[in-house]
Amino acid sequence: MNAYLITRDGSTWADVVRLVQGESVTVGRAPTNTVVLKDERASRNHAEIFFAQGAWQLRDLDSRNGTMVSGERLAADHLLQPGDILQIGNSQLAFVHDLSQAFPDSGSVLKSSRPVDGSDTLDGTETADAESIFEAFEPTTITHRKEQSRFLDTPSPVEESDESFPKVGRAAAQLCRLAFELAKSTDVVSLANEALTGLFEGTQVDAGAILLKKRGDDGERNGDELEVIASRSDSSHSYHRVSPFLTSTVLRDGQAVMARNVMDDSNLGNRDSRGEILATSVICAPIRLSGEIYGLVHLYTTDTDRTTDPEDLEFTLAVADTVGVALENLNKRQELAENLNQMRTENVQLREQLGVESEIVGSSDVMMRVTQQIARAAPSRATVLIRGESGVGKELVARAVHYSSPRAKGPFVCLNCAALSETLLESELFGHEKGAFTGATDRKVGKFEQADKGTLMLDEIGEMSPTIQAKFLRVLEGHPFERVGGAQAIKVDVRVIAATNRDLEKDVAEGKFRRDLYFRLHVLEIVVPGLRKRPEDIPELAEFFLRKFSDETGRNLQGYTPRAMEQLLRYRWPGNVREMKNVIERAVVLATGEFVDHEDLVLSRLKTVGDTEGGGEPSSLNKGYEPQSLADIEREHILRTLNATGWNKSRAAGILGIERSTLDRKIRRYELSTMKP
């Protein structure tokens, strides 16, 4: 009994293999197979065809993607029948007994898939239709090529005078092109103008408009009043708005209407101030979005020689529904763009957080009090005011408050108010709409919206201008705000943490800072002392930064020489922890030995806050000697500190590094209350 296996690879015939009894045929991707398939979906040794029990059988060799026979996947050995189609990956093979049925023209290889006579027998006992066997192998013939549909050409490829093309066909072509253009619109106004252009081309009108419902307080277009988004008039009259009668009819019934020979001014408002007829034929169609009426398409003609017909009504209704779908897609695109922008911002913030140490380094008494204040402030929703010199770690304290609070899973957004001008600061805080000012090419979500359900830290709050202070205060009081150039009211749930190194009380007295905003911010206060006021933390911080930068640079430094540590302890650190971080980083890079020496430390000659002359040393050291007891010096220093803080005992105690109760005892001991201003 003769048997053949005919293989096909893609669109070309590959080979014909004669099956010989006693010899098995393997099929797979490996070159050692009888039939080699150049198919990534085929296994190296995919299947085997062998003769057993008087018939040819097919066995799958535990291939990765399996072997299919006539559309069914093999689960066991399969007895092959003439006409079986084997599917291995993307390759096909046919099992036949008689090649004359597969190759009726001996001069070509499968030139035709049809047999000479479909009733001819293949093996003397069975009959098969070669066409059915090889129909899966029918070669593909490309008959036409086209890069873009003519229905999307601009201008429309179908002219009004083309009688060979029926009006319905012209309308369908115009509608197809219009839907394509609407899908490319980037904003509501351009979408409405594009729709009007298509409507004027497809109907007998010379004036019209796209009207949408006005936005409500929630920002959605669900109000009862309509606003004109785009209008057009090709006549001598300007566009005349749709009458309340037609508006209520279409909005109530949800159906498109057409009216002709409109003469009743009380119904349609179709006359101008001189009594001239404005509309001889009117079409109104509802714009539907998600099952709700979103607005109207209003069209009319003022030319008595041109009137609309039912086909124009059909076309207008189709355009109105297409506009509704385009508006819904546009809203979703804008929402996705905003979400993407917010996710990118949050991603940047998370990446920044990975590089920020979440622990506050320092075990001095004053830092323990700061830690306790953070723990007490974190569970509250109250505004926190963090005070301290530049570089003491106010942002680190703000992060600790946020990540210890119930808002820890929400975003933490930080903004430096001193780094931006008044206009840019307003845009950063509240966001702006596209086109609000020069350079506003896209809608921007402000920091308040980004920090919704989380915490917003405003560094250098004392640098905020009075105009922004007023708007900022309203948001703190729970009022909604609007983006720059926008009209949508936005309400957020944000906890604000403000930080400053300025004397806000002095700024309030001088009129530089709003008194009401000061009291709104000054709910909970955390004072972070300067590094020189907690010298016991210097060795711990120095060791922390040494380990950090040694790991980053790959250096194996053992520590500090005694002279280097002495210099670190004696230095007054005008830049506080930020300066120490930079000094240690530089020292790690410059150090030549196993220890950081005093020569590796590059310290500045800047004065600390409160210093005058003397190269960073207290001015009192430059004065002549005056005999004073320690009690007198303590009394004078406490009094000056109280006066500097406006007799704020909590702040004074933090600066002095003592408990509030200790300060009260010293005030009574030195009778300082009598000297209070």
pLDDT bucket at 387, cuts 50 / 70 / 90: very high
Give the pLDDT of residue 122: 35
> 122: which residues sit within 8 A by CB, 6+ positions away?
82, 96, 97, 98, 101, 128
553-571 confidence digits (pLDDT tens)? 888 888 899 899 989 988 9
**Alpha-helical regions (H) of 419-476:** 422-430, 447-450, 466-476
Give the pLDDT of residue 612: 39
Give the pLDDT of residue 15: 78
Label residues 288-316 b or e (16+ Cβ within 10 Å = b): bbeeebbbbbbbbbbeeeeebeeebbbbb
DSSP code, position 570 = H
Span 204-211, mean pLDDT? 89
Span 100-127, mean pLDDT? 38
pLDDT bucket at 529, cuts 50 / 70 / 90: very high
**CB-based contact 61:48 (threshold 8 Å):** yes
Q: Which residue has the higher pLDDT, 10 or 70?
A: 70
> 639: which residues sit within 8 A by CB, 6+ positions away?
670, 672, 675
Q: How many residues does the chain have?
A: 677
Peptide bond into 155 cis (omega under 30): yes
**For the chain, what percent of residues have pLDDT higher than 90?**
17
Find, among 189, 209, 221, the residue nearest to 288 by Cα.
Answer: 221
In the predicted structure, residue 100 carries a pLDDT above the cut 80: no
SS3 content of the chain, % helix, strand, coil (to 5): 40, 20, 45
8-47 confidence digits (pLDDT tens)? 755 555 678 889 888 899 999 998 898 988 888 899 999 9
Find, among 426, 524, 496, 506, the residue nearest to 466 by Cα.
Answer: 426
**CB-based contact 387:527 (threshold 8 Å):** yes
Label residues 652-669 b or e (16+ Cβ within 10 Å = b): bbbbbebeeeebeebbee
Give the pLDDT of residue 525: 92
In the predicted structure, residue 183 carries a pLDDT above the cut 60: yes
47-69 confidence digits (pLDDT tens)? 999 998 889 999 999 898 899 99
Most confident of 139-153, 176-190, 376-390, 614-628: 376-390
**For the chain, what percent of residues have pLDDT higher than 70?**
80
Label residues 318-342 b or e (16+ Cβ within 10 Å = b): bbbbbbbbbbeebeeebeeebeeee
d(CA 361, CA 544): 8
> 521: which residues sit within 8 A by CB, 6+ positions away?
383, 385, 461, 476, 496, 498, 504
Q: Which residue has the higher pLDDT, 4 or 134?
A: 4
Radius of gyration of the chain (CA): 42
Span 108-126, mean pLDDT? 34
pLDDT bucket at 625, cuts 50 / 70 / 90: low
Write down the pTM of the prediction. 0.43
Find, among 420, 400, 488, the residue nearest to 449 by Cα.
Answer: 488
Give the pLDDT of residue 235: 80
Query: Whole-number mean pLDDT of the chain?
Result: 79
Span 456-484, mean pLDDT? 87
Q: Which residue has the higher pLDDT, 38 or 106?
A: 38
**CB-based contact 530:388 (threshold 8 Å):** yes
d(CA 26, CA 35): 6
d(CA 336, CA 334): 5
Give the pLDDT of residue 652: 87
- In order of 48, 86, 88, 94, 320, the CA distances from 41 in angstroms are 16, 14, 8, 19, 49
Structure tokens at 214: 């006005």
pLDDT bucket at 142, cuts 50 / 70 / 90: very low
Find, among 40, 59, 39, 41, the residue nearest to 49 by Cα.
Answer: 59
- In order of 597, 613, 620, the CA distances from 623 in angstroms are 33, 11, 5
Span 89-114, mean pLDDT? 60
